[in-house]
Structure 1
Amino acid sequence: MTYQSFREYVLGAFKIGIGLGVVSILARWVTGNTIFGSPEALVKYGMFGGIGYSLMGAFALIAFGWLGRKVRSEFSGGMTIGDYMRGKLHPFGFWLMIAILFITSIEGMFVQGMAGGVLLNILFGLPIPLGQLLFFVFCVLFAGIGGIRSIHRFAIVQIVITFATTILIPVYFFIGKGVEHVFNGIRLYHPYLLVLNNKEGLLFIVTGMLIGFGQVFVDQATWQRLYMMEDKKVVPTFLLSGLIFATIPLAFSSLVFIVIFSGGFDDIYSLLFDLVRKIDTLFLLVLFVLCSFGAITSAFGANLHSMVSLMVGNVYQLFRPAASERQKIRLSYTLAIAIGAVSIGLTTYFSPTLLDLLLFFGIIYASLFLPVIVIVLTKGKASNFIIISAAVGILSGYVSRAYVDYLKAVWIASASSALVLFAYLCIFGVWRRYRRTTSGS
């Protein structure tokens, strides 16, 4: 696909409105984690697991709309989060942020790559490494080479299929089996899923929202979509996206009830096998396959494209400011292939569950949540101490992981980051007041 400039490869040739903006955001956030991770959360934390997955994305997207309006009013000509951070941070803080963003991007592709390999294994019996290889090759061609035009064209089809899946499959099964029959089966075989005073489930909800805020606020693909929109439509676009997104994890979580109301299960992957076997209508099975593959592909593609855009636009261009548009586009294609190869290597050697991955990298997201808000709200250049507070939180979270579980480690990371940030702001405020007093006297 031919692009005339690197900016066109990153953002497209025109500003998008509310309709395409909502579709593009939902296509980014309806991912393999949404389809496979939300049922896993339901099984592990009961009914609060599915609710937590729903709220963590919904509230974060709504809040980002208000933060994004401030970003656009202050710096409207950017393409990536790196453009904004370069203007707001000193060199040390900027490069530390780039390093963190690189890690979170790899995490996003790693998660979707795992989900893609598992999906192809469930559907076609392909060995997971082979399925991941085929998935990565397709995504590199689709997003890395195809650019933003391919991503947007694919997003429209994906969202239509997603809503058809989340409506038709639950309705088909709950009407066919009977809602009361399903409820009685859950109460008989898995009553713990219906417990209302599940403290661990409630902890997952608030922890999930904390992770969700950090995840959305530093997501490179979301920042790109922010810069694609017309200024006045940023807040309503993200508001609608959040409200609509809230329904999707709940719908996929409800699919778990279809599988387990009649007995037990071995693990989350056996649940997925059983779900596919229970969809006995060819049309619904094809719909579920297309929905799952589309969500995983779209999320991986958005991560890959945004990471390539960041590396070329905010790293390569600093060292080669005279590079031509054609050179930057060619490098984008090369980087897409290289990053895809790295993702294949990672998924070959590591195989945690999707929920474990979310909580593992949730330590990073929880540590970044408050520092990013402070950076955006700071007038002029933000101090390096702000982004250093995020690094302290990340370090504290992973060190504490040796003594506590993931949920508590996430809160330790967030609290450490907040304490360092609060201490800095207090000291800076006292110092500024002292300077005013001495200069006035």
Structure 2
Amino acid sequence: MLYHSFREYVLGATKIGIGLGVVSILARWVTGNTIFASPEALVKYGIFGGIGYALMGAITLVAFGWVGKQVRKQYSQGQTIGDFFQFKLHPLGYWIMIGILLMTSIEGMFMQGMAAGVLANILFGVPIPVGNLIFFMLCVLYVALGGIVVIHRLAVVQMIFLFATAILIPLYFFIEKGVEHVYEGIRLYHPYLLVVNNHEGMFFIVTGLLIGFGQVFVDQASWQRLYMLEEKKVVPTFVLSGLIWSTIPLAFSSFVMVVIFTGGFQNIFSLLFDLVRKIDNLFLLTLFALCTFGAIISAFSAGLHSMISLIVGNVYSLFNPYASERQKIRKGYSLAIVIGLFSFVLTFYFTPTLLDLLFFFGIIYAALAVPVLVIVLSRQKAGSFIPVCTVLGLTSAYIARSHVGNLNAVWISMIVSTALVIAYLGFQLLHKYWSRRTAPGSL
């Protein structure tokens, strides 16, 4: 598609309203994680795991609507999260945050690539590396040539398949098997899933919320959609998106329940194999395939597009300030190829579970939550020590991780970064107070 400027490639030609805004945000956040990690959370932490995963996304999207309102009031002409950080941070802090954003972007696309390869293997028997390669090639062509307009078009189609799948497949199974039989089977084979007094599950919910705040607050694609929206529609769009999104993990968790009620399982991937085998209706199986691949392609494309926008708009443009609009767009094309290839190489050499990956990078997100909030709410440029607090928080957590486990490491990351931010702000207040007391003419 032909774009006249890089800004048009990033944000489109016009502002969008609540309807398209909700569709675009949901298309960004219904991801491979939603398909794989929410059922994995249910299996690992019981009913609280599935509910907690749904709450994590819903509450954080609603909270980001409020944060986004403050962002638009302070700096309404931006395109990316990098533009806002350039406005609110000094150079050292800015480059620290850009480095962290690039790391988290690669993580998001790596997760989608893993999910795509596994799905291709489950549904079509394609070897996972081959499925990954085909997936990355399609997404790179789609993002490089299509831009935000084509991404939005796919988002509308994806939402149709998504909600049709979320409604029709559970309905089909529960009518065929009977809700009572499913419940009795889970009580017989997996009673731990129904335990209400599950402290580990409750801890997962709280920790998941902490990860979710940091993840959404620094998600580049969400910031782009924030700048695409009409200003007065920012809050209602994100609130509605959060409420609707919360139903999706619950729907995918219900898919797992109709598989495990007849016996045991090996792991989350074997559960998906069993699910595909149990969908004996060709229409529903096709719908499931379109829904899952559509979700992963849409999420990966949004992440790739936003990363290209960040690098070209906030890194390349600083080193080449006289670059023309066509040069920026061409640079975006070449970046799409490089990032896609790099993501493929990562999926070829690393194969962690999505839930483990979520916790591993959750350490970074937990360290970011409070510093980003302070940067947004500060009236002037935030000190460079605020981003440094993030680095110190995540570093301490990774060092302690092998001794305390994933969930506790997330909390260490948040506590250290938050304590350092509070100490820094307290020092700043004391310094200002002491300066006033010792200024000439003060009493």
* Distance (whole Å) between structure 2 residues aligned to residue 145 and residue 214 of structure 1: 31
**Structure 2 counterpart of 1:221, which letter?**
A
Q: Which residue of 1 aligns with 2:218?
A: 218
Q: Which residue of 2 aligns with 1:19?
A: 19
In the alignment, structure 1 residue 404 sits paired with structure 2 residue 441: no
Q: Which runs of 5+ in 1 are unaligned?
A: none
Q: Which residue of 1 aligns with 2:209?
A: 209
Q: Which residue of 1 aligns with 2:117?
A: 117
Q: Which residue of 1 aligns with 2:81?
A: 81
* Distance (whole Å) between structure 2 residues aligned to residue 265 and residue 284 of structure 1: 23
* Distance (whole Å) between structure 2 residues aligned to residue 61 and residue 219 of structure 1: 11
State whether residues 145 and 336 of structure 1, in contact with CA within 8 Å, keep that contact through their aligned partners in structure 2. Answer: no
Q: Where do residues 17-56 of structure 1 align in structure 2 (5 Å cutoff)?
A: 17-56=17-56
Q: CA deviation at 1:324?
A: 0.3
Q: CA deviation at 1:144?
A: 2.8
Q: CA deviation at 1:145?
A: 2.5
State whether residues 143 and 301 of structure 1, in contact with CA within 8 Å, keep that contact through their aligned partners in structure 2. Answer: yes
**Structure 1 counterpart of 2:202, which letter?**
L
* Distance (whole Å) between structure 1 residues aligned to residue 154 and residue 20 of structure 2: 12
In the alignment, structure 1 residue 4 sits paired with structure 2 residue 4: yes
State whether residues 50 and 249 of structure 1, in contact with CA within 8 Å, keep that contact through their aligned partners in structure 2. Answer: yes
* Distance (whole Å) between structure 2 residues aligned to residue 144 and residue 286 of structure 1: 28
Q: Where do residues 410-421 of structure 1 align in structure 2 (5 Å cutoff)?
A: 410-421=410-421
Q: Which residue of 2 aligns with 1:272?
A: 272
Q: Which residue of 1 aligns with 2:282?
A: 282
**Structure 1 counterpart of 2:407, which letter?**
L
* Distance (whole Å) between structure 1 residues aligned to residue 400 and residue 67 of structure 2: 31
SS at match of 1:401: helix
Q: Which residue of 2 aligns with 1:134?
A: 134
* Distance (whole Å) between structure 2 residues aligned to residue 281 and residue 206 of structure 1: 39
In the alignment, structure 1 residue 149 sits paired with structure 2 residue 149: yes
Percent identity (aligned): 68
Q: Which residue of 2 aligns with 1:182?
A: 182
* Distance (whole Å) between structure 2 residues aligned to residue 193 and residue 144 of structure 1: 44
* Distance (whole Å) between structure 2 residues aligned to residue 386 and residue 96 of structure 1: 10
Q: Which residue of 1 aligns with 2:171?
A: 171
Q: CA deviation at 1:405?
A: 1.1
* Distance (whole Å) between structure 2 residues aligned to residue 122 and residue 249 of structure 1: 20
Q: Alpha-carbon deviations, 1:400-435, whole Å to 9, x = none?
A: 111011011100111111111111111111111111
Q: CA deviation at 1:187?
A: 0.3
State whether residues 120 and 128 of structure 1, in contact with CA within 8 Å, keep that contact through their aligned partners in structure 2. Answer: yes
Q: Which residue of 1 aligns with 2:379?
A: 379
CA-atom RMSD in angstroms:
0.7
* Distance (whole Å) between structure 2 residues aligned to residue 50 and residue 68 of structure 1: 27
Q: CA deviation at 1:318?
A: 0.3
* Distance (whole Å) between structure 1 residues aligned to residue 245 and residue 344 of structure 2: 29
* Distance (whole Å) between structure 1 residues aligned to residue 268 and residue 66 of structure 2: 37
SS at match of 2:4: coil
Q: CA deviation at 1:357?
A: 0.6
**Structure 2 counterpart of 1:15, which letter?**
K
State whether residues 144 and 301 of structure 1, in contact with CA within 8 Å, keep that contact through their aligned partners in structure 2. Answer: no
**Structure 1 counterpart of 2:203, which letter?**
L
Q: CA deviation at 1:90?
A: 0.5
* Distance (whole Å) between structure 1 residues aligned to residue 229 and residue 438 of structure 2: 46
State whether residues 182 and 258 of structure 1, in contact with CA within 8 Å, keep that contact through their aligned partners in structure 2. Answer: yes
Equivalent residues, number: 441
Q: CA deviation at 1:438?
A: 2.1
Q: CA deviation at 1:175?
A: 1.3
State whether residues 363 and 394 of structure 1, in contact with CA within 8 Å, keep that contact through their aligned partners in structure 2. Answer: yes
* Distance (whole Å) between structure 1 residues aligned to residue 144 and residue 69 of structure 2: 28
* Distance (whole Å) between structure 2 residues aligned to residue 396 and residue 248 of structure 1: 34
SS at match of 1:15: coil
* Distance (whole Å) between structure 2 residues aligned to residue 144 and residue 288 of structure 1: 27
**Structure 1 counterpart of 2:279, which letter?**
I
* Distance (whole Å) between structure 2 residues aligned to residue 137 and residue 287 of structure 1: 23
Q: CA deviation at 1:185?
A: 0.1
State whether residues 367 and 390 of structure 1, in contact with CA within 8 Å, keep that contact through their aligned partners in structure 2. Answer: yes
In the alignment, structure 1 residue 239 sits paired with structure 2 residue 239: yes
Q: Alpha-carbon deviations, 1:260-317, whole Å to 9, x = none?
A: 0000011111001000000111111111100100110011001100000000000000
Q: Alpha-carbon deviations, 1:331-357, whole Å to 9, x = none?
A: 000000000000010000000001011
SS at match of 1:436: helix
Q: Which residue of 1 aligns with 2:321?
A: 321
* Distance (whole Å) between structure 1 residues aligned to residue 33 and residue 288 of structure 2: 15
Q: Which residue of 1 aligns with 2:102?
A: 102
Q: Which residue of 1 aligns with 2:160?
A: 160
Q: Alpha-carbon deviations, 1:10-43, whole Å to 9, x = none?
A: 0000000000000000000000100111001100
SS at match of 1:352: coil
Question: Normalised by the size of structure 1, how large is the TM-score?
Answer: 0.99
State whether residues 21 and 237 of structure 1, in contact with CA within 8 Å, keep that contact through their aligned partners in structure 2. Answer: yes
**Structure 2 counterpart of 1:193, which letter?**
L
* Distance (whole Å) between structure 2 residues aligned to residue 54 and residue 145 of structure 1: 34
Q: Which runs of 5+ in 2 are unaligned?
A: none
In the alignment, structure 1 residue 195 sits paired with structure 2 residue 220: no
**Structure 1 counterpart of 2:70, which letter?**
K
Q: Which residue of 2 aligns with 1:263?
A: 263
Q: CA deviation at 1:437?
A: 2.0
* Distance (whole Å) between structure 2 residues aligned to residue 132 and residue 381 of structure 1: 42
**Structure 2 counterpart of 1:224, which letter?**
Q
Q: Which residue of 1 aligns with 2:394?
A: 394
Q: Which residue of 2 aligns with 1:300?
A: 300
State whether residues 144 and 304 of structure 1, in contact with CA within 8 Å, keep that contact through their aligned partners in structure 2. Answer: no
